[in-house]
Structure 1
Amino acid sequence: MAITPPSGTARRFARVLAVTAAATTALAMTATAQGAPAKPDKKDVKAQVDQLYAEAEQASEKSNAAEEDAKRLQTETSSLQDQVAQGQDTLNRMRSDLATVAAAEYRSGGMDPTVQLMLSSDPAGYLVKARSLAEAGRQQAASLHEVLEQQRRLDQRRTEAGAKLAELETVRDTLARSKQQVQQRLKSAQALLNSLSAAERSQLLAQDAREAHERATRGADRVDLGTQPPASDRAAAAVAAALSKLGSPYVYGSTGPGSFDCSGLMYWSWRQAGVSLPRTSQAQAFGGQRVSLAEARPGDLVIFFHDMHHVGMYVGGGTVIHAPYPGARVRYENVSAMPVAAVVRV
């Protein structure tokens, strides 16, 4: 499969996404000769907004991961707590049974066995009973051992449950911070966009969509996905599901069916094929077999950027389908428009 090298527009697009946070100073309002603030430049606004969206997506993927961890830990904690409760009931019954046996022996007298044999009118019968008592003693010792072992297991489960609860609390703190970071970046991005007129905002959005279309079509009338078959029947089903969502809006944390974030689109599409992917782009990067970009086939996941915070699905012809960022919709993109970190065959 031939991969079209990045065009000048694509390289500019990639650079825009990689602008550092320091670039936000470029929009500082400068005074004119009369002291009035200068009108913000659309290119500067776009660069900063793209950077903020990239940072928001990074925080969103962390949030998605923390949310999945929280669900898992909650389930594990509930299971351990149930085990502790059941174990305590079992231990209470075992202790009660042991106490009943001990009380019965105490009431029987505790007389020395030799004396009991001398006083017995039926020594042979007593010896049979003595052997039974010895066996009962061994069983009682075994019961005591079981009680102690049950206590050990119960203490272990309590320790595990406590550790899970502490871990769950830490994950919930991470989730709250990540969500706050997402909202902060989105708020900053919206403030920048609000510095432009409504017409300018519409122009920016339309220009971005147009440039993405041009990259995907390479100047042709429509996107050519080629004739390369998917890697499997399930991959074909996942591709069909993803393509059915072209034009759906991007929403952070969403897994469909009406809106998606980048990893949410992959997660939903593969679910329609009967496959459960990990929730985040970073986890999806390790959710299958790694292949080279030159070996990519429809249905493969393409992980972008060095920190793997974005993902799309390869659909053929050097093209991916992905959910880009807030305000944009699920669309095609040239696979070379963003730095590829990994290609994964599910």
Structure 2
Amino acid sequence: MASHRLKRGIFAATAVAVASVSLTGSPATAQPPATAADALKKFNELSEQATKLNEEVLRAQDDLNAKKAELDKANSDVGAAQQVVDRAQADEEKFREHVDVLTQASFEGARFNQLSALLVSESQQDFLNRMSALGILAADNSEALAKLSGAVDTANLAKQSAQDAQTRAQDAAKAAEQLKTDVDKRNGELQTQIKEVKTALNNLSAGDQRKLADKGDMSNISVPAGAAGAALEFALNQRGDGYRYGSTGPDLWDCSGLTMKAYAAAGVSIPRTSGGQAGVGRSVSRADVRAGDLIIYYSSQSHVAMAVDNVRAVHASTEGRPVLIANIDAIGPVSVIRRVAG
């Protein structure tokens, strides 16, 4: 009887535990959005998150490239410093030998002083010649000692420079390794986010997908003269091209890849990331926006567009959307506006 009561107790406790886990403990399976509006909202949210992640990956890659360049320079400095050390040590050895010879000669000549020169000289001119030789010997010895001292100092400084360069190289290598790990981690997160964006895109209604794929205004648009106009013309020529995170053309773009290549086509070099582009040129107000200006969006400065005029901008938006013209203020909250040329 007790055994039956024990079994019933265990069964009841297990049932409660299972019910509890099923209600609160197990992770919820992602469900497709209930309505088309929910699906579009989810897609936009995931796209914005992916855009921020993409910007973080690009910035981390820029940091890594800079650190690798620092490492290369440090390694080069190590080699150059070692060459200086070798030359300085060779000079030190050469001057040391010279000093040794002169020191020995001076020691031998120490017993040959002015009185000795006077006593053994055969003539007044002979005496003057012997005195001159003694003076030259002393001057040569002083000069050789000075050169030796300089060579020793140079060698010591070169050794310190080589040690400093070696330390910088080791620090740069360590930092580059850490940055590489960070880039790989962020890139992994980005790829996961991109998959979620694509899933959200597929969950959209056919009508919403067609709206997203609409190329918008494809009409001919005149551009001003100069670098800003040339950059804008390049960007406008990419209308209808697809979007891909991390791409810089020729047929797929992300936002900063498009603006970077546009200004490159105009002969102007600007940074790869939208965050970097937020610091180029000079700041202008929203009211002063004109063709070619770069408009950076969001507090994270993770998106950039190029002004067509004071109302419109061309940009590479997000997955599922082509490069197109949109209203400047409808794209998102503006962080900063930069005039690169003009």
TM-score norm. by structure 1 comes to 0.77
In structure 2, the residue matched to 1:71 is: 65
CA shift for structure 1 position 320: 0.7
Matches within 5 A, 1:249-288: 249-288=242-281
In structure 2, the residue matched to 1:98 is: 92
Instruction: Determine if the alignment matches structure 1 residue 46 to structure 2 residue 40.
Output: yes
CA shift for structure 1 position 153: 1.9
Once the two structures are superposed, residues 276-303 of structure 1 have per-residue CA deviations (whole angstroms, 9 ceiling, x without a partner) of 1111111111111111111111111111
Matches within 5 A, 1:144-293: 144-194=152-202, 196=203, 202-210=206-214, 213=216, 230=224, 233-293=226-286
Q: Distance in 1 between matches of 2:146 and 2:80?
A: 27
Determine which structure has more spread, i.e. the larger CA radius of gyration.
2
Task: Mark the CA change 1:309 to 1:75 in structure 2 (over 3 Å): closer, same or farther.
Answer: same
Task: Mark the CA change 1:54 to 1:39 in structure 2 (over 3 Å): closer, same or farther.
Answer: closer
Match of 1:334 among 315, 319, 327: 327
Say which is worse superposed, 47-56 or 108-117, in terms of deviation. 108-117
Q: SS of the residue aligned with 1:316? A: coil
In structure 2, the residue matched to 1:32 is: none
Where relative contact order (Cα < 8 A, 6+ residues apart) is larger, the structure is 1
8 Å CA contact retained: 2:256, 2:304? yes
In structure 1, the residue matched to 2:75 is: 81
CA shift for structure 1 position 100: 4.0
CA shift for structure 1 position 266: 0.2
Q: Distance in 1 between matches of 2:205 and 2:158?
A: 67
Matches within 5 A, 1:288-299: 288-299=281-292
Gaps in structure 1 of 5+ consecutive residues: 1-24, 30-37
CA shift for structure 1 position 250: 0.7
Q: Distance in 1 between matches of 2:199 and 2:335?
A: 31
Gaps in structure 2 of 5+ consecutive residues: 1-26, 118-129
In structure 1, the residue matched to 2:143 is: 135
CA shift for structure 1 position 314: 0.6
Match of 1:344 among 328, 338, 342: 338
Once the two structures are superposed, residues 97-118 of structure 1 have per-residue CA deviations (whole angstroms, 9 ceiling, x without a partner) of 3234435655x49559466321
Q: SS of the residue aligned with 1:134? A: helix
In structure 1, the residue matched to 2:24 is: none
8 Å CA contact retained: 1:224, 1:317? no
Say which is worse superposed, 335-344 or 117-126, in terms of deviation. 117-126
In structure 2, the residue matched to 1:20 is: none
Task: Mark the CA change 1:187 to 1:314 in structure 2 (over 3 Å): closer, same or farther.
Answer: same
Matches within 5 A, 1:5-16: none
8 Å CA contact retained: 2:67, 2:176? yes
RMSD: 2.9
